[in-house]
Homo-oligomer: A and B are copies of this chain.
Amino acid sequence: MTTPAIAAADWGTTRLRLWLLDAQGNVVAERRGDDGMTSAREKGFSTVLEDHLAALGAPDTLPVVICGMAGARQGWLEAPYVDVPATLAEVLRGAARVDDARRDIRIVPGMAQRLAEAPDVMRGEETQLAGAKLAGRGRHLVCMPGTHSKWVRVEDGGVAGFGTWPTGELYSVLAAHSILRHSLGDRPASVAADNLHFRRWCETALENGGDVSSRLFSIRAAGLLQGLGPDDAAACLSGLLIGGEIASARRRHEAGKEPIILITSGALGVLYSAALGLAGLEIQPVDADEAVRAGLFEAANHNGMIAGGTTA
């Protein structure tokens, strides 16, 4: 195989994704694991990482750049937050170095918004943002859907502010632990973006400006009174929560005419594209996997980790 120049890892709470990249940032090899921060705390971060590197046949001296929850206080090594407003270059340059490792390992810091009325944090998304190749000038509004969806206001290459909507977490917690478990059943089918219930409930939430809690119980009642089945109930809940997120975020971040940069991939990207369309918003899609890889490669370059690379 081509000689790798760097290993890049997106290490979240529940998942690890690892790539070997050449000196131009092209993928040489890839690996995914379920040993996110939570399980790595038990096995040891170094052990988990070295096992995955060995499985990919990575050389002993290959440097590793990491983003995500591995840099949290409960992670491998705390990479202290960079406060907004800040440029993405400032963030990438702040990578923390793991001292006792036999190879060069650095962890990209997260970002913090220390506002009394809207404190917020992110870890991992800042790297995706850096890799999304936004135009250096102008205002962008970026939507990054997920367990904890982030909406980020980017101005002239810097992060001006951001917010978190725990849409994915609300969905799974309500589906498993609330009265809606009776409506959704054990294994509802994955939601399709052209499901009429998804679209109708999304529109309702958009009209209600992000007021979601007033409609949650209606999903249960629609099962009792109108025979709504489990798959459609799942579509209602998904549409309601995603529509509510978009209504709320567009107001809070004063979305204008410019397209929303949607950084995502897979099925979730399809649902958000549909929902943003229902909201009358244009989108400019960016693949989340490519973005985080490009951001990690840029972080490696910024920190002089790639032989012959361009140090900023």
Contact = CB atoms under 8 A, between A and B. Distances in A.
Interface of A: 73, 81, 112-114, 116-121, 148, 163-167, 169-170, 173-174, 176-179, 204, 208-218, 220-222, 224-226, 241, 244-245, 247-249, 251-252
B174 A119 contact: no
How many copies of this chain? Answer: 2
A222 B252 CA distance: 19
Contact of A214 (B73, B169, B241, B249): B249
Contacts of A166: 178-179, 213, 216-217
Nearest to A216: B166
A241 B245 CA distance: 16
A211 B252 CA distance: 11
A222 B221 CA distance: 35
A218 B113 CA distance: 10
A217 B177 contact: no
B245 A213 contact: yes
Contacts of A163: 214
A170 B170 CA distance: 10
Contacts of A211: 209-212, 244, 247-248, 251
Nearest to A13: B179
Nearest to A112: B225
B165 A213 contact: yes
Nearest to A210: B211
A226 B178 contact: no
A149 to B, nearest CB: 9
Given A209-B209, A224-B121, A217 B164 contact: yes
Contacts of A179: 148, 166, 169
A246 to B, nearest CB: 11
Contact of A170 (B119, B169, B213, B252): B213
Given A214-B210, A244-B213, A178 B167 contact: no
The 8 closest A-B CB pairs, nearest first, are A210-B211, A164-B217, A119-B221, A214-B248, A211-B248, A119-B222, A120-B221, A119-B225
Contacts of A177: 173, 176-177
Given A118-B218, A208-B248, A210-B213, 4 more contacts: A120-B218, A173-B174, A173-B177, A213-B244
A116 B249 CA distance: 27
Contacts of A213: 165-167, 170, 210, 212, 241, 244-245, 248
A209 B205 CA distance: 13
A88 B282 CA distance: 50
Contacts of A215: 118
Nearest to A226: B119
Nearest to A147: B179
Contacts of A241: 213
11 contacts: A119-B222, A120-B217, A121-B224, A165-B213, A165-B214, A166-B178, A166-B216, A169-B179, A170-B178, A209-B209, A211-B212
